[in-house]
Amino acid sequence: MHVGLLIVATGRYAGYLPGLLSDCAERFLPKRERTAFVFSDALPPQPPGLRVVHVPTAHEPWPHPTLHRYHYFCRARTRLETEDVLYYLDADTRVVAEVGDEILPDAEHPLAAVAHPGYCGRWARDGRLARAARALGLGIPERRWVARPLRGAYETRPESTACVARHEGRVYLMGGFYGGRTAAFLAMAERIRADVDRDAARGITAVWHDESHLNRYLIDHPPRVLTPSHGFPEGWDLPFPPRIVLLDKDHAAMRAPIEA
């Protein structure tokens, strides 16, 4: 199986490439043949064990680098079609534990995406259990986590092609890591690119940009849902073992205009 890994890293985000590509070489589907397609305005490093292809991509002001990612993928379609599966991964992440075949599409689901850690459940500490355990001298863990499902931050304006009606949407999915079989991934990219352009022609930007459009598409094409282990925010305390960590950062500083 040939695996294509897609990373968009223009402007300041190119600074994340050395660490991320080194991680991927060591821990991202390490038993598979892998090629990282790096869409960047900077030459990416070439870590041992990972083939890296530079796809020259000009930096755009925020939010276009994220909103236009599907445009980048569609322009590179001929290159990407050589792979069996494709996965997109945010540049500002680290792969801290092995990511294996659990992410691969199955017979029923040609696409895979991650349950958003902020909406898959609200995790609360049951302090009464811990106090009772200590009083009895029992070795029960200090924390007991309770999930309370939450509705995600879908686009709700009917004017947008990303709109999700109140009766739709069960699991809100994050836009930082997803993928699947190449044909299914590229079909998704073409559809979302067209929807982003239709919104832009009417002066509309979806509330969470590409993530809003991704959720709209995956409601109609249900994916294999991965746990927040594959999208674990740095510094959070969740009942999942971290595999792909979303790095904390100063969003305003990272998105500020870059002077010529």
CA distance 68 to 128: 48
209: tokens are 């940009």
**pLDDT in the model for residue 236:** 86
Residues 49-62 have a mean pLDDT of 95
Residues 178-188 have a mean pLDDT of 98
Name the least confident of 66-75, 98-107, 148-157.
148-157
**pLDDT in the model for residue 136:** 53
Contact between 152 and 166 under an 8 Å Cβ cutoff? The reply is no
Contact between 150 and 119 under an 8 Å Cβ cutoff? The reply is yes
First to last CA, the chain: 42
CA 170 from centroid of its chain's CA atoms: 18
Q: Alpha helix locations (H) across 47-137? A: 64-67, 69-75, 77-80, 127-136
Q: What is the pLDDT of residues 213-251, one digit of tens each?
A: 999 999 999 999 998 899 999 988 877 889 999 999 777
CA distance 198 to 129: 53
pLDDT band at 256 (very low <50, low <70, confident <90, very high): confident
Task: Write out the residue limits of the CATH 3.90.550.10 domain(s) in the chain.
Answer: 2-116+157-255
Give the whole-number percent of the chain exceeding pLDDT 70.
Answer: 88
Which range has the top average pLDDT, 108-112, 137-141, 252-256?
A: 108-112
**pLDDT in the model for residue 260:** 61
- How far is residue 24 from each of residues 110, 140, 243, measured CA to CA in Å? 22, 37, 11
3-state secondary structure of 197: helix
What is the CATH T-level fold of the domain 2-116+157-255, as seen in this structure? Spore Coat Polysaccharide Biosynthesis Protein SpsA; Chain A (3.90.550)
**pLDDT in the model for residue 216:** 98
Residue with tokens 């092995």: 98
CA 13 from centroid of its chain's CA atoms: 15
Residues 83-101 have a mean pLDDT of 97
- Residue 228's identity, in one-letter code, is P
DSSP annotation of 99: B
DSSP codes, 128-188 = HHHHHHHHHT----S--EEEE---------TTSTT---TT--SS-EEEEEEEEEHHHHHHH
CA distance 3 to 112: 14
DSSP annotation of 68: T
3-state secondary structure of 120: coil
Contact between 111 and 188 under an 8 Å Cβ cutoff? The reply is yes
**pLDDT in the model for residue 137:** 52
Q: Which comes out higher in pLDDT, residue 252 or 52? A: 52
Residue with tokens 């100063």: 250
Which range has the top average pLDDT, 101-115, 190-204, 241-255?
A: 190-204
Q: What angle do CA 106, 34, 46 make, to 5 degrees?
A: 155
